[in-house]
Amino acid sequence: MQETHRLVVDPELIRRFDISGPRYTSYPTADRFVEAFGPAQYARWLGSREVGGLNRPLSLYVHIPFCNTICYYCACNKIITKDHSRSARYLDFLEREIDLVDRHLAGGREVTQLHLGGGTPTFLAEDEMRRLMAVIRARFQLAEHGEFSIEVDPRKVEAAQVALLAELGFNRMSIGVQDFDPLVQAAVNRIQSFDETAAVLEAARENGFKSVSMDLIYGLPHQTVERFAATLERVIELSPDRLSLYSYAHLPRLFKPQRRIEEAALPTAADKLGIMKYAIERLVDAGYVYIGMDHFAKPDDELTIAQRQGRLHRNFQGYSTQAECDMIAFGISSISKLGAIYAQNHKTEEDYYDALERGELPVLRGVELTADDVLRRSIIQALMCHFELSIESIEIAHLIDFRRYFTPELHDLARMAEAGLVEIGDRWITVLPPGRLLVRAIAMVFDRYLRHDRERARYSRVI
């Protein structure tokens, strides 16, 4: 394993620096968006993509909020229903939104990345999925070698549906697993067998999917190192191309379904740390490369290659190989990124539909980045994606004296350097192997908004 991918799990350092903080899928983070940024501002930015002669490719995200059943741990924006008249109506309004964006959009229409997330995108029936993809293809050009991915619930998908997805152009898949232990599954209301999961993965490979990812969660009720180790062995047996190992954040005041989880059954902080430590070490032993945060990938996976080549990017879907794209997002609660702005849609069906009925882009809030925001975003991206930062590159790109501009930040970072998390050199700031699991805490040093208000209680903990 290359030096840049080395990882040291130090429980004492983790306990010391495990604070609450953002996941930095954007900077500024979504909680800093303002309602003063609305449909008019978003329309103006959609129409200015060619300013300066730039013609960036597009990344599209479509949020499908529907789920057949509720998983108690879930904190996603979702709608629990079995009624397909609701999804049919939703598609009607999605098409309106896509038409509105198309009307305002300047520049090329080539799409190099498409992602359907949720909810459960495979809630859509065959005719609904065909309709959605036809709407997208009628307005955008999907690149020949693009990355087109979809989130899949293997409890609701059979081989014929996987074949349909391949026919429609999807070539990457994310499969939710969380845990194979029956006791854990019962406690979170997600009963999912190993065999049905394996069948979906096998169907994906038979239909030419280039990459299959699996999601796991640690910190769920009844989990122990021994129980989770058994799940890991089954997952390693399936050999997905990528793995996400998420930490469960128990926030029942914010997410009502979590109130059905018995708090006494949750692992203690020490047990949760033990599960995480074992899982990371086992995945690395199995040949997976630690990408960052909670992501792992095989050495020949595109994410690993992108990180090795300095092309890795972080966006609202996590780590990505498409750093140069403008991201346009459709559907309730989805967030777009165009140049120096973010725009988030309304979060409920009613508000989303009402805006579109008025002929408005369904934007609830957003933000136009200042020069300082763009500077700090580039620093946080570099740390989160590559574990190192070229001071000279930042100075040249943003015309600043780094040490003068970031004097307070470097003072705070020195404490982390003393603990062995980072190395601060004349030309580089490097996240050391013991600091890589804590990269969120390191990135927070450069977050101007957190430095102003120190209000961190709204975020999940780093580990």
What residue type is assigned to position 180 of the chain?
A: F
205: left (phi over 0), alpha (psi -120 to 50) or beta: alpha
Specify the pLDDT at position 10. 86
Specify the pLDDT at position 319. 87
Q: Is the dihedral of CA 210, 134, 132, 88 positive or negative?
A: negative
The Cα 445–Cα 373 span in angstroms is: 14
Cβ neighbours, 10 Å, residue 19: 14
Q: What is the DSSP letter of 428?
A: E
Residue 382, pLDDT above cutoff 50: yes
Specify the pLDDT at position 15. 86
Give the confidence band of 460 by pLDDT, cuts at 50, 70, 90: low
Residue 4, pLDDT above cutoff 50: no
CATH code: domain 1-28+370-463 is 1.10.10.920
More confident residue, 3 or 94: 94
Domain spans of the chain, in order of start: 1-28+370-463, 32-328
The Cα 397–Cα 101 span in angstroms is: 31
Q: What is the DSSP letter of 237?
A: H
239: left (phi over 0), alpha (psi -120 to 50) or beta: left
Which residues are within 8 A (CB) of 243 and not within 5 positions of it... i.e. 6 or more apart? Answer: 213, 214, 215, 216, 235, 283, 288, 295, 296, 297
The Cα 340–Cα 37 span in angstroms is: 13
The pLDDT tens digits for 112-165 are 999 999 999 999 999 999 999 999 999 999 999 999 999 999 998 999 999 999
And the tokens for 129?
Answer: 């999925």
Cβ neighbours, 10 Å, residue 409: 18
Residue 386, pLDDT above cutoff 60: yes
Residue 421, pLDDT above cutoff 70: yes
The pLDDT tens digits for 192-210 are 999 999 999 999 999 999 9
Are the C-beta atoms of 245 and 216 separated by less than 8 Å? yes
Q: What is the DSSP letter of 224?
A: -
Rounded alpha-carbon distances, angstroms, from residue 308 to 253, 434, 459, 462: 41, 19, 30, 24
196-231 burial, b at 16+ Cβ within 10 Å, e below that, comes to ebebbbebbeebebbbbbbbbbbbbbbbebebbeeb
Q: Which CATH architecture does the domain made up of 32-328 adopt?
A: Alpha-Beta Horseshoe (3.80)
Domain 1-28+370-463 identical in fold to domain 32-328? no
Return the residue matching tokens 């490097």.
Answer: 430
Closest by Cα among 355, 358, 357, 327 to 343: 327
What residue type is assigned to position 342 of the chain?
A: Y
- Three-state DSSP state, 398: helix
Dihedral, 283, 287, 293, 294 alpha carbons, nearest 10 = -40
Specify the pLDDT at position 278. 95
Which residues are within 8 A (CB) of 257 and not within 5 positions of it... i.e. 6 or more apart? Answer: 70, 71, 72, 73, 74
Q: What angle do CA 399, 406, 310 make, to 5 degrees?
A: 65
And the tokens for 302?
Answer: 């595109």
How do strand 58-64 and strand 110-118 relate by DSSP bridges? parallel
Q: Report DSSP letters for 250-284, one per residue.
A: --TTT-GGGGGS-GGGSPPHHHHHHHHHHHHHHHH
Evaluate the omega torsion of the peptide bond into residue 119 and state whether it is cis, within 30 degrees of 0: yes
Q: What is the 3-class SS of 135-174, one letter each residue?
A: HHHHHCEEEEEEEEEEEECCCCCCHHHHHHHHHCCCCEEE
Range from 162-171, 280-289, 315-324, 429-438 carrying the lowest mean pLDDT: 315-324
The Cα 43–Cα 278 span in angstroms is: 48
